[in-house]
């Protein structure tokens, strides 16, 4: 990943390049922003540029020994920490899944939690960065850089660290090994320890510009400009969502069908079917349950906005829009806040390991009354 490969984000790229060229790098940086804005792409481009031994004014050379190793993600001074799932009684480490991690990154640096879950065959698992991980990375970073330059540790989703792991990482950030750069890539920095945030230079990555997404879609998928512009608008700055719209993501389609099924059953008060629906969703694993609840919140928001008949404010796919022409009148100022509150509480309960059958059946029952308002 080069800076030239990062979609949009020109101001951020310029700032990061100047930081390295002026030798003013913070030893710990927090790249944060919503899904699909290119946080990992920027972190990788930054790491490559920093490790390059023949860097240009705006990008890494791509041909020096460092860049050749980086292209395969096997540079000895580049280290990754990322969430994994626990196998039986053993704490799994990032190194146990490094082959799958490299494969995913080499395919695309624009990915999300669902992509990673699918890559490691852990759709029904919750991902964590376990305590032992901090000891391993501390040991690796204690060595002198093999190439004589910097050592870089990229931590994806640091908010998924176990508490003890986070505390040990804090000590590393307070007393970092010599010539070491930590790049934390987060989607929810509010879940990090305040003391970790205070030790980092926070870099807010904004949504990608629509024009940049549209141009990338035209170049990558040979889409007609009008179609690319429409998809870019609906993606709302999220390139992952734009690609899913082109490829019709099976996961998104699954969530859409679950949502439609629930709303129709709740409106018709089909209690037996709602009970079966709750049991079905309870069996897909907590990460996918949380993803569904996020999708449901998005659909409620979009259907409420759909009532204003302002095309530029709407981010529905063609399939979703077809459903919303009939469903949106049921989402109004009398119930939208309460529905969103119930969805938010359901998501919180799932994160707290409350019985999912109870959570989803309780929510579906409440929807019966809320849709009638």
Q: Which two tokens stand for residue 333?
A: 């100022």
pLDDT at 168: 92
pLDDT at 83: 94
Q: How confident is the model at residue 266 (pLDDT cuts 50, 70, 90)?
A: very high
| DSSP strand pairing (28-32 vs 78-81) | unpaired
The residue-averaged pLDDT of 19-24 equals 94
The CATH code of the domain at 3-204 is 3.40.50.300
**Distance separating alpha carbons of residues 44 and 146, to the nearest angstrom:** 19
The torsion region of residue 28 among left (phi > 0), alpha (psi -120 to 50) and beta comes to beta
pLDDT at 57: 92
Q: How confident is the model at residue 314 (pLDDT cuts 50, 70, 90)?
A: confident
> What confidence tens digit (pLDDT) does each residue in 61-100 have?
999 999 999 999 999 999 999 999 877 667 789 999 999 9
The answer on pLDDT for 292 being more than 80 is: yes
Share of the chain above pLDDT 90, in %: 75
**Distance separating alpha carbons of residues 30 and 184, to the nearest angstrom:** 5
CB 151 within 8 Å of CB 181: yes
CATH 1.20.272 residue ranges in the chain?
248-370
| Residue 79, strand partner residues | 153
User: E strands within 166-287?
Assistant: 180-186, 201-204
**Distance separating alpha carbons of residues 251 and 72, to the nearest angstrom:** 29
Closest CA to 31 of 214, 179, 151, 157: 157
The answer on pLDDT for 194 being more than 70 is: yes
CB 70 within 8 Å of CB 51: yes
pLDDT at 305: 93
pLDDT at 89: 63
Place of tokens 């609840």: 293
Share of the chain above pLDDT 70, in %: 98
CB 212 within 8 Å of CB 75: no
Q: Which two tokens stand for residue 57?
A: 């004014």
Q: How many CB atoms lie within 10 A of CB 213?
A: 28
pLDDT at 98: 94
**Distance separating alpha carbons of residues 200 and 155, to the nearest angstrom:** 13
User: Strand, coil or helix: what is 152?
Assistant: strand
**Distance separating alpha carbons of residues 150 and 111, to the nearest angstrom:** 26
The residue-averaged pLDDT of 311-317 equals 77
> What confidence tens digit (pLDDT) does each residue in 318-336 have?
788 899 999 999 999 999 9
The residue-averaged pLDDT of 5-31 equals 95
Lowest mean pLDDT of 24-28, 148-152, 236-240, 358-362, name the range. 148-152
Q: What angle do CA 157, 355, 357 make, to 5 degrees?
A: 110
CA distances from 71 to 44, 68, 310 (A): 10, 5, 45
The residue among 42 and 316 whose pLDDT is bigger is: 42
Place of tokens 């790229």: 13
CATH 3.40.50.300 residue ranges in the chain?
3-204
**Distance separating alpha carbons of residues 213 and 220, to the nearest angstrom:** 10
CB 331 within 8 Å of CB 339: yes
The answer on pLDDT for 160 being more than 90 is: yes
The answer on pLDDT for 274 being more than 70 is: yes
Fold of the domain built from segment(s) 248-370 = Zinc Finger, Delta Prime; domain 3 (1.20.272)
CB 318 within 8 Å of CB 234: no
């Amino acid at each position: 990943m080069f800076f030239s490969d990062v979609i949009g984000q020109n101001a951020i790229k310029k700032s990061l390049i100047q930081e390295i060229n002026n030798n003013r790098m913070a030893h710990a940086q927090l790249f944060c922003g919503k899904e699909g804005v290119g946080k990992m792409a920027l972190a990788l481009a930054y790491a490559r540029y920093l490790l390059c031994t023949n860097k240009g004014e705006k990008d890494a050379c791509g041909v020096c020994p460092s860049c050749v190793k980086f292209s395969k993600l096997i540079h000895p001074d580049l280290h990754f920490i990322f969430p994994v799932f626990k196998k039986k009684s053993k704490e799994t480490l990032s190194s146990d899944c490094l082959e799958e991690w490299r494969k995913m990154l080499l395919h695309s640096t624009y990915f999300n939690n669902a992509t990673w879950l699918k890559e490691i065959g852990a759709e029904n698992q919750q991902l964590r960065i376990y305590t032992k991980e901090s000891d391993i990375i501390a040991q690796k970073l204690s060595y002198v850089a093999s190439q004589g330059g910097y050592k870089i540790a990229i931590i994806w989703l640091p908010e998924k660290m176990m508490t003890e792991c986070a505390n040990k990482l804090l000590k590393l950030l307070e007393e970092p090994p010599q010539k070491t750069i930590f790049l934390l890539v987060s989607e929810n920095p509010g879940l990090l320890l305040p003391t970790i945030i205070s030790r980092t230079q926070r870099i807010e990555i904004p949504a990608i510009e629509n024009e940049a997404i549209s141009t990338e879609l035209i170049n990558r998928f040979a889409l007609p400009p009008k179609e690319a512009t429409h998809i870019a608008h609906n993606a709302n700055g999220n390139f992952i969502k734009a690609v899913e719209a082109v490829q019709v993501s099976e996961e998104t389609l699954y969530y859409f069908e679950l949502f439609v099924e629930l709303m129709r059953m709740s409106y018709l008060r089909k209690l037996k079917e709602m009970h079966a629906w709750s049991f079905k969703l309870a069996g897909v694993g907590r990460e996918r349950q949380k993803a569904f609840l996020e999708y449901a919140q998005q659909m409620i928001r979009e259907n409420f906005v759909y009532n204003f008949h302002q095309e530029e404010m709407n981010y529905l796919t063609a399939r979703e829009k077809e459903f919303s022409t009939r469903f949106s009148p049921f989402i109004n100022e009398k119930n939208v806040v309460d529905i969103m509150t119930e969805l938010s509480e359901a998501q919180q309960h799932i994160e707290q390991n409350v019985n999912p059958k109870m959570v989803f059946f309780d929510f579906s029952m409440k929807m019966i009354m809320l849709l009638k308002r």
